[in-house]
Structure 1
Amino acid sequence: MSMACQKCQQQLPLPAQSKLFRCHCGNLIPLGNSDRSLPVQEHGRFSSKMRRFRDKIRINSSRTNSLSHSPSTSPRLSLIFTKPPPSGKRALLCGVSYKNEKSRLRGTLHDVNGMRTLLVQKFSFSEESILILAEEAAYKSPTRRNILEAFKWLMTDLKSGDSLVFYFSGHGLRQPDFIEDELDGFDETICPLDFRTEGMILDNAINDILVKPLTPGVTLHAIIDSCHSGTTLDLPWVYNRDRKSWDDNRPPSRTNKGTSGGRAFGFSACRDNQLAADTSAFSPEKMMMGAMTYTFIKALSENANITYQELLDYMHNEIEKVNKARCPLLKVFQRKIDQEPVLSSSEKFDTNTKFKL
């Protein structure tokens, strides 16, 4: 097995039983048991500009490792989140625009505002029960540290009957997995605002912090609008829409990726090997939004008694409608929205069950 040096790009053999390797160019490469500092395979919420700085991305392995397997190592909650979260319903909404990056996204703030309105008007969430991280003066910044601390806010003092929501709109990446924790050989990630300097947040960490602590009677719905997001929560079961059945997503290592008795549901923008669109194609006002977020909100706004199956089908069908409606003369210039929303779960269930938060 080999890997590429991030500095000189030369292919290097992976030495056995070594945690640090020095390339001939002088670059030190950490080779720990997980989350190695390797080149990223592909890039997040679709933007051709993301490819231009692929080799500039540096994964901070030490910071990533500290949260890959144990939620107890998450940073101490800072003063900005010391107000106790309300019991019952609460939500964490993260929108990352990367304003100062070439890979800037223009729809994430609209995404967050749309999700907030949906939760308040359709699902009776109070304003006080919603914590928003975004690059606006009214909110705290969606840095890596703030997102991890907000995770802790969301998961504090869980009680039976609690309904939790985690929403993320931003870039998603993937990196090679070397601990046999992934069926496809890649770890999926979300990218905080400062991911180039502070590192990404891996699916292992998200599962450890948001999924495993869920106790009986507690439910989490995670909505992830980013590229490579199909299994961002590392949930054991992924719904196969074609066969109307559940695919086993448990890792080859047989590591437990389930809850502590609660339930976790994941709605993702696309499969792990796909890109997600930031587009105005769905909005009559030509407002930029994530394709998945727009169709998710629209489905729930129009259908009070929609089921999980109907919600997934609705998103698929709306994306297909937009693709079919593209002008034949402009298809060569218009990128097809090639993404398939994914439903995953901590346990198999009847998808004809009514969706509720």
Structure 2
Amino acid sequence: MKSIMFPPPPSSIYAPPMLVNCSGCRTPLQLPSGARSIRCALCQAVTHIADPRTAPPPPPSPSSASPQPPHIPAPLGQLPHPHGRKRAVICGISYRFSRHELKGCINDAKCMRHLLINKFKFSPDSILMLTEEETDPYRIPSKQNMRMALYWLVQGCTAGDSLVFHYSGHGSRQRNYNGDEVDGYDETLCPLDFETQGMIVDDEINATIVRPLPHGVKLHSIIDACHSGTVLDLPFLCRMNRAGQYVWEDHRPRSGLWKGTAGGEAISISGCDDDQTSADTSALSKITSTGAMTFCFIQAIERSAQGTTYGSLLNSMRTTIRNAGSDGGGGGGGGGGVVTTVLSMLLTGGSGIGGLRQEPQLTACQPFDVYAKPFTL
């Protein structure tokens, strides 16, 4: 199971960071208190912060001034270009060699990458992968690297862009003290180093990738973690029963704080409700361990040859998970496409967990007709 419940360290309580733009790639960077310079983890450029107590030197006279070469930003190396029409951050964390280890999360990340490239025509160069298998230290899913990746995802986005954030790993929740949560809890994601650096709270995720979205930009978040129902803090939740009937619940904070976008569209599909847990299991694929939600999400898309709506997608995912509890994991076979071609390439392993008790959730920045709106990335 992907649930960790214990009081977070004080550092995980979100406070708006002091940000400066990198002098090289313009990525927002969190400036440590008292620091006068900071190195960008993405492009390695060093940004110097002016000391307001120091007066600038007088300008040199024309006769003594020597021509200066123009500033050339440090190269981004193998990182994706941040201005593609479609781009994605995929994060899968297994917490290897720890008591929190999960078996299926890196499999989830690989399968999601395959789906985005082959089904939704994302360029491989526009997908930023964060897993423990990456050799680049800036692609290890630490708290700082995850923050940088989320900033990268929305950097410079313009109308027509399609953004995806997929996360498979541990999720948790903690008491909310500012009154902006309906249930009194903040939902969190757990980076690889969460035990020392703290968790990433839904307030920060919302401020980073939801509120900046301009008109015409579309963001989809696919979160396979415990307590993830409202982990993007979006204003509206689609409450659907087993018959497929639904109403939109208003989760806007009583304080009036706006948690929507700056005109763009944000939709989140999560593995379970805020008070539920998500399974890491081999009961569905029968081949290897995966997150139950990620498996059902990919399977629902692959089985819908003519496309699908958000309502049909959500119903299909929920039905597969319910059936896994009644027939020992039915729904894992016959999917074809990504489910068989990707998972069969991965190493087998993990332990099955029957009787799944989770219900995938849908949240959005604005209510819409879930059976009329086509799903597309």
Give the TM-score range, shorter chain: 0.7 to 0.9
Decide whether aligned partners of structure 1 residues 346 and 220 sit closer, same or farther in structure 2, where only a CA change above 3 A counts.
same
Q: For 2:213, what is the secondary structure of its paired residue?
A: coil
Letter in 2 for 1:264: A
Letter in 2 for 1:134: T
Letter in 2 for 1:294: F
Q: Distance in 2 between matches of 1:189 and 1:154?
A: 19
Letter in 1 for 2:300: A
Post-superposition CA distance 1:293-348 (Å, at most 9, x none): 00001111121311100100000000111111149xxxxx9652111000000001
Decide whether aligned partners of structure 1 residues 72 and 129 sit closer, same or farther in structure 2, where only a CA change above 3 A counts.
closer
Letter in 2 for 1:190: L
**Contact 2:214 2:263 survives alignment (8 Å):** yes
- 1:126 pairs with 116, 123, 127, which one? 123
- Of 298-307 and 214-223, the range deviating more from structure 2: 298-307
User: Which runs of structure 2 are paired with 1:90-105 in the superposition (5 Å)?
Assistant: 90-105=87-102
Answering whether residue 15 of structure 2 is matched by residue 65 of structure 1, we say: yes
- Residue identity over aligned pairs, in percent, reads 42
**Contact 2:283 2:328 survives alignment (8 Å):** no
**Contact 1:69 1:208 survives alignment (8 Å):** no
Q: Distance in 2 between matches of 1:156 and 1:347?
A: 23
User: Which runs of structure 2 are paired with 1:68-83 in the superposition (5 Å)?
Assistant: 74=30, 77-79=40-42, 82=76, 83=79
**Contact 2:9 2:198 survives alignment (8 Å):** yes
How many pairs align?
A: 301
Q: Distance in 2 between matches of 1:201 and 1:334?
A: 27
Decide whether aligned partners of structure 1 residues 229 and 99 sit closer, same or farther in structure 2, where only a CA change above 3 A counts.
same
Q: Distance in 1 between matches of 2:10 and 2:109?
A: 27
User: Which runs of structure 2 are paired with 1:262-281 in the superposition (5 Å)?
Assistant: 262-281=264-283
**Contact 1:315 1:341 survives alignment (8 Å):** yes
Shift in Å, 1:67: 4.5
What corresponds to 1:344 in structure 2?
A: 363
Shift in Å, 1:254: 1.8
Shift in Å, 1:72: 6.6
Decide whether aligned partners of structure 1 residues 128 and 336 sit closer, same or farther in structure 2, where only a CA change above 3 A counts.
same
Shift in Å, 1:188: 0.3
Q: Distance in 2 between matches of 1:68 and 1:302?
A: 46
Letter in 1 for 2:274: D
Shift in Å, 1:137: 3.6
User: Which runs of structure 2 are paired with 1:294-333 in the superposition (5 Å)?
Assistant: 294-304=295-305, 305-326=307-328
Q: For 1:275, what is the secondary structure of its paired residue?
A: coil
User: Which runs of structure 2 are paired with 1:188-267 in the superposition (5 Å)?
Assistant: 188-242=187-241, 243-267=245-269
Post-superposition CA distance 1:247-296 (Å, at most 9, x none): 111112221001000000000000000000000000132x0000000000
Q: Distance in 2 between matches of 1:69 and 1:185?
A: 28
Post-superposition CA distance 1:140-160 (Å, at most 9, x none): 200000000011111111110
What corresponds to 1:112 in structure 2?
A: 109
Q: Distance in 2 between matches of 1:121 and 1:79?
A: 27
Post-superposition CA distance 1:74-123 (Å, at most 9, x none): 46742358453132000000011111310101101100000000000000
**Contact 1:69 1:205 survives alignment (8 Å):** no
| Structure 2 unpaired stretches of 5+ | 21-26, 32-37, 45-75, 330-351
Letter in 1 for 2:318: H
Q: TM-score, normalised by structure 2?
A: 0.75
Q: Distance in 2 between matches of 1:61 and 1:232?
A: 15
**Contact 1:180 1:251 survives alignment (8 Å):** yes
Shift in Å, 1:68: 11
**Contact 1:300 1:306 survives alignment (8 Å):** yes
Q: Distance in 2 between matches of 1:303 and 1:318?
A: 14
Q: Distance in 1 between matches of 2:146 and 2:128?
A: 11
Shift in Å, 1:244: 1.7
Q: Distance in 1 between matches of 2:180 and 2:28?
A: 20
Shift in Å, 1:350: 1.2
Answering whether residue 166 of structure 2 is matched by residue 167 of structure 1, we say: yes
Q: Distance in 1 between matches of 2:290 and 2:177?
A: 35
Q: Distance in 2 between matches of 1:215 and 1:245?
A: 27
Answering whether residue 2 of structure 2 is matched by residue 45 of structure 1, we say: yes
Structure showing the higher helix proportion among its residues:
1
Q: TM-score, normalised by structure 1?
A: 0.79
Letter in 2 for 1:199: G
- Of 273-282 and 71-80, the range deviating more from structure 2: 71-80
**Contact 1:68 1:208 survives alignment (8 Å):** no
**Contact 1:68 1:204 survives alignment (8 Å):** no
Q: RMSD in angstroms over aligned alpha carbons?
A: 2.4
**Contact 2:324 2:354 survives alignment (8 Å):** no
Q: Distance in 2 between matches of 1:206 and 1:225?
A: 15
Q: For 1:105, what is the secondary structure of its paired residue?
A: coil
What corresponds to 2:57 in structure 1?
A: none
Letter in 2 for 1:272: D
**Contact 2:18 2:30 survives alignment (8 Å):** no
| Structure 1 unpaired stretches of 5+ | 1-43, 328-332
Q: Distance in 1 between matches of 2:176 and 2:28?
A: 22
Q: Distance in 1 between matches of 2:322 and 2:96?
A: 30
Q: Distance in 2 between matches of 1:214 and 1:317?
A: 33
